[in-house]
Amino acid sequence: MNPRDASASVRVAIDAMGGDNAPDEIVAGAVLARRDGLGEMVLVGDEPRIAKLLAQHRAKDIEIVHAPSAVAMDANPSQVVRTSDKTSLGIAINLVREEKADAVVSAGNSGAFLAIALIRLRTIPGIARPAIAVVFPARDGPVIVLDSGANVDCKPEWLAQFGLMGSAYAKAALGIENPRVAIVSVGEERVKGNAQTIEAAGYLDRMPVNFIGNVEGKDILFNHADVCVTDGFVGNVILKLSEGAAALLGDIVLTEIKRSSPLVKLGALMVKPALRRVRDRVSYDSFGGAPLLGLRGNCIVAHGRANRIAVRSAIRAAVAEVREDVVGRIGEMMASLDFSDAREA
């Protein structure tokens, strides 16, 4: 484990053409990150379009690497891999593989991101599959849920590896000294759950993590654990349901205020700053991106609808992962394991 020297600049490759708001918001986010001193930004994509946008922002210290094409948001990941070397996403990942960048950030097609990165960067020795680790804004601080969409079907030992990777990330990037790791299940008792989760618990008992057992879905946002492990199918449902619930709550509050009396509306104006803080706490813009853990390279998956604030947050997450050597931490933890004992459980 080699945490990076704080004085050393981090170089981030950004897929400028990935996402619903590309390239405008992606470029703007990179400009914000550069002005915040987060490191060196490399924008990969349509050079003429990016150069024009940078000129509008009067940003002269951001590098552009031209890419002749981009990965469509609805593209089939397996088909994209064959032509990825000509796309902004593929070229950005290659910059990390060739050690010309320390991390890659993309708000584009997450399935394609996973497929290309898996082939170009490969997994850390001992890791079977990478996982998307989403940081949720819970009541008492952040909670990590993984996998959140990379692997819809999982083996029990993969879930145990997700727990180890999530624990390493929580320590390094979130500063949680001894992260509590739990499996998302249908009951708190260890005997509850399907065969997959019960067997995974046996593996996690032998992992060098603080495994506390099961948590239910209702417990996640109340910090019953710091790292919540599940397969990519359930994890993605949790993610999308949470996004929808947050949006619904905001809509309900606004609707009720509009329907209320002038006195209530006046009261709403008085609490507007507090409501804005609540919105900021639950917005994905504040967290920006989810690390794709388990690869031999730092990869951050930003939300497809990411705006400039979310892009800056994703870049900040990438820089934190590089500085704290999350890849190295996971590698060291995996190297210390003897899975023969876990298989006998």
Sorted by where each starts, the structural domains of the chain and their CATH numbers stand as 1-127+294-325 (3.40.718.10)
pTM equals 0.86
CA distance 143 to 148: 13
Give the pLDDT score at 345.
36
CA angle 268/273/278 to nearest 5° reads 95
List the chain pLDDT tens, one digit each, 345 residues: 566 555 578 999 999 999 999 999 999 999 999 999 999 999 999 999 999 999 999 998 999 999 999 998 888 888 888 888 999 999 999 999 999 999 999 999 988 999 999 999 999 999 999 999 999 888 888 899 998 988 889 999 999 999 999 999 999 888 899 999 999 999 888 888 899 999 999 999 988 999 999 999 999 999 999 999 999 999 999 988 887 887 787 788 778 778 888 777 767 677 667 666 666 565 555 666 899 999 999 999 998 888 999 999 999 999 999 999 999 999 988 888 765 444 433
218 forms bridges with which residues in the sheet? none
Element (H, E) at 302: strand 298-302
Q: What is the pLDDT of residue 104?
A: 97
Q: What is the model's pLDDT at position 10?
A: 94
CB-CB contact of 164 with 208 (8 Å): yes
Cα distance between residue 142 and residue 169, in whole Å? 12
pLDDT at 342: 42
3-state secondary structure of 138: strand
Cis peptide before 23 (omega within 30 of 0): yes
Beta bridge partners of 146: 229
Output the CA–CA distances (angstroms, integers) from residue 303 to 19, 21, 23, 65, 306, in the order listed: 8, 10, 14, 22, 5
List the one residue out of 53, 164, 42, 161 whose CA is nearest residue 103: 42
What is the pLDDT, as a whole number, of residue 50?
Answer: 97
> What is the pLDDT, as a whole number, of residue 32?
96
CB atoms within 10 A of CB 2: 8
- pLDDT number for residue 141: 87
* Contact (CB, 8 A) for 190 and 213: yes
Residue 17 host element (H or E): none
